């Protein structure tokens, strides 16, 4: 039996779908479904159980699991309730780490590229304590994830007990089906698809940095299928532990992203550049690019889908269909 926390969320529901499609139905999802239709992310799935967040630790008592995939978190990068974010993203993660250590259960968890802050220290997933301590996250979400990375690696450095397999995944800009409940945290493709399909011009932020053209702010965009493939590989490779970037290793511009969206709809790109709000200019990232050599050295040799192919598949298979859910 597998436990997927955050299993009704974006990346979690794609993982559950992939496991179902591979024949696994012994999956327990831990998540809050709420009343906004988030359940639709699991509407095509077969599950062994759905456990509400407040009941998880009691449910785990006396259980034996094949692995815990911990993807549940408050992932809103604009969140401001420090107590709630740390309780959800840090303290619960510690409790799950302790449970997996005590029961000898493999533990794979979501970290985040937000731990890198403004990128001044680069995007190298060197997970030594010295390297991690140099990082300065720019928001509460990134801070909460960074705290947990430090806690895990501190235990490793001291030779303390850990699960037989542990892996933290620093997801970069993941996009794909089932992200629709995320509101402003959705990918730009999901947020601007309706405008592009309706024949409207799509707005992107102007650049406010010398040497970078409007629309040439860059991110490492990775499709959900590729992110899931890394997790599936780790499940099948229990000898691998550590912290790994999950990105393509190639930064692409927002102009590239939106242009790929227009072309998937059979239209020429129609983009307007508008001023970035002053409130976010000082904390805006102009470049992110995962270094994936650590993952390659660990033995992961699958390729990554190109931006154009990933956007085309997302639009033709999901966003432009009556049923957008995987």
**Residues with active-site annotation:** 141, 182
Give the separation between CA 199 and CA 193, rounded to whole angstroms: 10
What tokens does 303 get?
A: 């390729």
Q: Residue 242: phi, psi to the nearest 5?
A: 140, -175
Instruction: Quickly count: other Cβ atoms within 10 Å of residue 151's Cβ.
Output: 14
Q: What tokens does 115 get? A: 């731990």
Spatial contact of 10 and 42, defined as CB atoms under 8 Å apart: no
Cβ atoms of 269 and 259 within 8 Å: the answer is yes
In this structure, what are the phi and psi dihedrals at residue 231, rounded to the nearest 5 degrees? Answer: -65, -40
Q: Which residues contact 317 (CB under 8 A, 6 or more apart)?
A: 177
Q: Please, which residues bridge with residue 242 across strands?
A: 167
Backbone dihedral region of 105: left (phi > 0), alpha (psi from -120 to 50 degrees) or beta?
Answer: beta
């Amino acid at each position: 039996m597998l436990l997927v926390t955050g299993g009704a969320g974006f990346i979690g529901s794609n993982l559950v779908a992939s496991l179902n499609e591979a024949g696994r139905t012994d999956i327990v999802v831990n998540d809050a479904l709420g009343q906004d239709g988030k359940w639709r992310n699991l509407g095509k799935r077969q599950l062994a159980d759905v456990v509400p967040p407040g009941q998880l630790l009691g449910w785990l008592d006396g259980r034996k699991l094949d692995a815990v995939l911990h993807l549940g978190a408050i992932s809103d990068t604009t969140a401001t309730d420090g107590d709630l974010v740390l309780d959800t993203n840090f303290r619960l993660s510690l409790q799950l780490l302790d449970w997996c250590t005590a029961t000898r259960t493999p533990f794979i968890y979501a970290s985040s590229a937000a731990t890198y802050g403004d990128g001044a220290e680069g995007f190298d997933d060197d997970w030594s304590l010295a390297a991690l301590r140099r990082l300065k996250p720019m928001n509460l979400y990134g801070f909460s994830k960074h705290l947990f990375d430090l806690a895990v690696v501190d235990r490793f450095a001291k030779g303390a007990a850990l699960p037989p397999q542990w892996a933290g995944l620093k997801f970069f800009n993941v996009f794909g089906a089932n992200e629709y409940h995320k509101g402003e945290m959705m990918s730009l493709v999901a947020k601007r698809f309706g405008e592009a399909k309706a024949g409207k011009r799509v707005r992107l932020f102007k650049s406010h940095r010398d040497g970078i053209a409007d629309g040439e702010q860059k991110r490492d965009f990775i499709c959900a299928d590729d992110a899931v493939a890394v997790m599936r590989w780790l499940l099948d490779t229990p000898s691998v532990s550590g912290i790994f970037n999950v990105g393509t290793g190639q930064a692409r511009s927002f102009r590239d992203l939106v242009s790929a969206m227009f072309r998937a709809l059979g239209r020429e790109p129609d983009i307007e550049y508008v001023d970035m709000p002053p409130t976010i200019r000082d904390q805006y990232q102009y470049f992110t690019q995962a270094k994936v050599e650590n993952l390659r050295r660990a033995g992961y040799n699958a390729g990554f889908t190109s931006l154009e192919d990933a956007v085309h598949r997302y639009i033709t298979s999901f966003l432009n269909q009556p049923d957008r859910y995987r």
